[in-house]
Amino acid sequence: MNLTLFIRKVSLLCFSFLFISSTSWSQSNNYQKNSNNLKLTQLSGFSDDGRIKLLLLNLLPTGMTETAAVEIGKALQLNIYNTNHFTVVGPDEWNAGIRDQDPTLADCHDIACGTMIGKLFHADKVLVGNLNSEIILNENSEEESSFVLSVRMVDTRTNITDFVDEVQFTDLQIHDELFRLAERISDNTLLVGNVMNSKPSGITINLGRAQGIKTGQQIVILRRLSPKSTELANTQESYYENIALG
């Protein structure tokens, strides 16, 4: 009788353990799936068309409102996008995706957290900027507002600064100066294109940029070699051979 009761108790304990373990594993598995889905669905936004993927951070304002800095940042984003050299994700886009993933990174202004966000979004470059407002005397000796925008572009893979610039403008000059700044950012960023066709008379290259190239710029033509697999990252690295200069 005691043996039968003991067996029943052991069976009940085993069943309870299996039920709890199964429930815990199911919850853990569902959480992992949800986390993966969050990364896949939210941490995106770039066009996968061969253009440089640039993530633009919030401009850090001094002596002016956050709202004014946001509007100037949007104007800069549009001008950079219009070079047709970059696919750009701005603060509105990446903030929406990062708040649920890691709220501490939301509203980032500095390059330290910016490179982390850039890597989460698989960006090639991150652009950070400081925007200062000051009062100056114009040519008529009248006071007017002036803005000084300092920008820095960093490569997310190497953490190396690729480009640094500073521009000063007034309300009337803002669109022209931001256009010129975007052009300088584009001119100082490697332009990658594809060979569309080749003939004995010449080759056709798609650079994905409306303005094309300028006199004095050099074209390097590479041939892709067989990719090499990296076991640790479970990815493939492409290797290229330089076959022509133009």
Domains along the sequence of the chain with CATH: 52-187 (3.40.50.10610), 194-245 (no CATH)
Model pLDDT, residue 27: 39
Closest to 226 measured CA to CA, from 216, 239, 217? 239
Closest CA to 156 of 110, 127, 119: 119
- Mean pLDDT for 160-185 is 95
Q: What are the φ and ψ backbone dihedral angles of 230, each rounded to 5 degrees?
A: -110, 115
pLDDT reported for residue 234: 47
Q: Average pLDDT over the chain, rounded to whole?
A: 76
Residue 104 tokens read as 């501490």
What own/partner pairs with CB < 8 Å and gap ≥ 24 does 7-10 have?
A: none
Confidence bin at 39 (pLDDT 50/70/90): very low
pLDDT at 232: 40
Give the number of residues written for the chain.
Answer: 246
Question: Where in 20-140 does DSSP place strands (E)?
Answer: 52-56, 60-62, 86-89, 125-137
DSSP label at 169?
E
**What is the residue type of 212?**
G
Q: Is 50 exceeded by the pLDDT of residue 35? A: no
For residues 87 and 49, is the Cβ–Cβ distance under 8 A?
Answer: yes
The pTM score is 0.67
Among 222, 13, 159, 178, smallest CA distance to 83 is for 178
Amino acid at 169: F
Contact 90, 74 (CB under 8 A): yes
Q: What mean pLDDT comes out for the span 85-100?
A: 88
DSSP state of 105: G
Separation CA 107–CA 91 (nearest Å):
7
